[in-house]
Structure 1
Amino acid sequence: MIDGDISGFFITSTVAQEFLRVRDAATGEARYFTPPPYGLGPIARGAYFAGQKIHSDRPNDRPLFKRATDKLIMDFNNEFPSVVEYGHAGMAHLLNSGNRAIFEESVNHLPKRERKDLTNKFTFLVSRGVKCVPVQPECVPVAFDLLKRLMRRGFNLKSNFRNSLNDMLILGTAVANEVDLWTKDELLAQFAEEECRSKVKACGNHYEINFSERADCARRISQESKGYVNTGWRFVMHRPPAPSAAINRR
């Protein structure tokens, strides 16, 4: 999914969470939680910005930070299973600040070999100067609209609905931010070219989908999505309230 020279590139938080295996592949449940600094109390926030471990007296056999991170709930009116995701903003904050200490603390309950592998992957992204663009509230209606368009055009959804949803969240984030998108998915590139009227260029083993030169089309998709006809699909994005003190936040 992430290879070649990616120095200075941007990735969406959806891609980062896939690469860093935030969710269990079988259940879709979060395996660990990454906190943004605003979900922490003053002392913990100070440790966060200093790149220091926050918890010193917690057992390391279960995940931390669940109540301190952001939460995205997507409901599809029983057409598809509801989806709950954590840590889009949290992951972006950690990657963009290169905060390895807090990432290590987030995965500390996982098996040792996996902790090492995930930390190496995190360090790889940071060392290449890769920045993370989080899924924001304005991106989700665009993704919903694109998913509806995908279905209307007769594109087959992937056997795991979550994978098709992730594709649309990635595409929706690129559209909403009017930035180029690189992908190895030929069908996704074809859909973007036909539906978003984007310029697509085949480059070796990937496709470059250009939205920045066709900002008018990106705005069209975004504007149409803001006036999205209610079909019963809904989402809510929770930002964790900042606690008044206490470093022991879970």
Structure 2
Amino acid sequence: MEIIDTNILYYKYTNPKYSIEIEGKKISSINALEFLKNIEKIHTNSAKFYIPLNSGLNFHLAILLSKFHKKRAFNKSLSDYITFEFNNDFPSYNLYNNISIKQVINYKQKELLKASINFLPKENCKDIYSKYNFLIDYNLDCISLEQSDIDLALELLYKFLTNHSLKDDFRNCWNDLLIASIAVNRNMNLISKDKLLNQFVSLEFGIRQKRVTKKITEYDFSSNEVTERKHEKFESKGYINRSWNYRLKTK
């Protein structure tokens, strides 16, 4: 199985003849949220829009109200979120729509996505809906973050910082580690632009890298050795020593 990174989505969206085939492949919730321009980086407790989690009475009430208030954003309390806390090392923040973005993609809930974005300026709404239809047309399957993915990403960040420093935007780097952790935990190949953190993760797991194009690399996390090395090297939860933590709100 292959999981494709956000840069691949952009390449294919802007150029349908781009050489990499994406039909039926996997994407993470992070990839989807980046691609659909949902992630808010300036304000740490918000997103560009909120997608109600498809469960319970609150969800059905929100959908009913949306029919009468078409230009109003859904309340953030209707979405799921993950709180990431990094003590004073990096800014803490909430990531919204981790599960709900998976639902609107995998279950093709087009009307729910429309209701979630129709308060935005017309051009923004049109752009997001076009990208969403692109994901649907290519039958991409979305995987949401789970606790094991966050644990592994935190361990990878902890190990990376023992010998390196982050020079780029922290949120971009953290997203890279979350995506790589999803690939590792599910023994998938990650197809991505060549990045420092992807190279670091591949070295940590001793895996093969294969050049796909001049800019794109395939990182093969499919072997049993990856699973064995993960249990051997990444079960200590050393990140707790830095007072890093996270909380998931799923309903």
On whether the aligned pair clears a TM of 0.5, the verdict is yes
**Distance in 2 (alpha carbons) for counterparts of 1:223 and 1:92:** 31
TM-score by length of 1: 0.84
Cα distance, 1:20–1:151 mapped onto 2, change above 3 Å: same
Bigger helix fraction: 2
SS for the counterpart of 1:109 is: coil
Q: 1:224 Cα shift?
A: 4.4
**Distance in 1 (alpha carbons) for counterparts of 2:123 and 2:130:** 11
TM-score by length of 2: 0.84
Q: Which residue of 1 aligns with 2:34?
A: 18
Q: 1:158 Cα shift?
A: 4.0
Contact map agreement 2:50 2:76 (CA 8 A) in 1: yes
Q: How does 1:127-166 map to 2 (within 5 A)?
A: 127-154=137-164, 156-166=165-175
The size of the alignment, in residue pairs, is 231
Q: Which residue of 1 aligns with 2:22?
A: 6
SS for the counterpart of 2:145 is: coil
Contact map agreement 2:80 2:250 (CA 8 A) in 1: yes
Structure 2: which amino acid aligns with 1:126? I
Which 5+ residue runs of structure 2 have no aligned equivalent?
1-6, 13-17
**Distance in 1 (alpha carbons) for counterparts of 2:250 and 2:199:** 35
Q: For each residue in 1:153-178, what CA deviation from the matched residue of structure 2 results, as whole angstroms up to 9, or x when unmatched?
A: 32x42432111111111111111222
Contact map agreement 1:72 1:237 (CA 8 A) in 2: yes
Q: Which residue of 2 aligns with 1:71?
A: 81
Structure 2: which amino acid aligns with 1:68? L
Determine whether 1:30 maps to 2:47. yes
Contact map agreement 1:200 1:210 (CA 8 A) in 2: yes
**Distance in 1 (alpha carbons) for counterparts of 2:115 and 2:53:** 13
**Distance in 2 (alpha carbons) for counterparts of 1:158 and 1:182:** 23
**Distance in 2 (alpha carbons) for counterparts of 1:43 and 1:82:** 28
Q: Which residue of 2 aligns with 1:194?
A: 203
Contact map agreement 2:52 2:59 (CA 8 A) in 1: no
**Distance in 2 (alpha carbons) for counterparts of 1:219 and 1:163:** 28
SS for the counterpart of 1:198 is: coil
Which 5+ residue runs of structure 1 have no aligned equivalent?
241-250
Structure 1: which amino acid aligns with 2:178? L
**Distance in 1 (alpha carbons) for counterparts of 2:42 and 2:58:** 37
Cα distance, 1:219–1:236 mapped onto 2, change above 3 Å: farther
Contact map agreement 1:189 1:207 (CA 8 A) in 2: no
Q: 1:192 Cα shift?
A: 2.4
Structure 2: which amino acid aligns with 1:78? N
Q: How does 1:1-250 map to 2 (within 5 A)?
A: 1=7, 2=9, 3=12, 4=18, 5-27=21-43, 29-38=46-55, 40-41=56-57, 44=60, 55-58=66-69, 60-61=71-72, 63-154=73-164, 156-204=165-213, 205-212=215-222, 214-221=223-230, 224-229=233-238, 230-231=240-241, 232-240=243-251
**Distance in 1 (alpha carbons) for counterparts of 2:133 and 2:116:** 14
Contact map agreement 2:58 2:78 (CA 8 A) in 1: no
Cα distance, 1:43–1:180 mapped onto 2, change above 3 Å: closer
Contact map agreement 1:192 1:209 (CA 8 A) in 2: no
**Distance in 2 (alpha carbons) for counterparts of 1:128 and 1:89:** 20
Q: For each residue in 1:93-145, what CA deviation from the matched residue of structure 2 results, as whole angstroms up to 9, or x when unmatched?
A: 11111111101111111101110110010000001001111111111010001
Q: 1:77 Cα shift?
A: 1.4
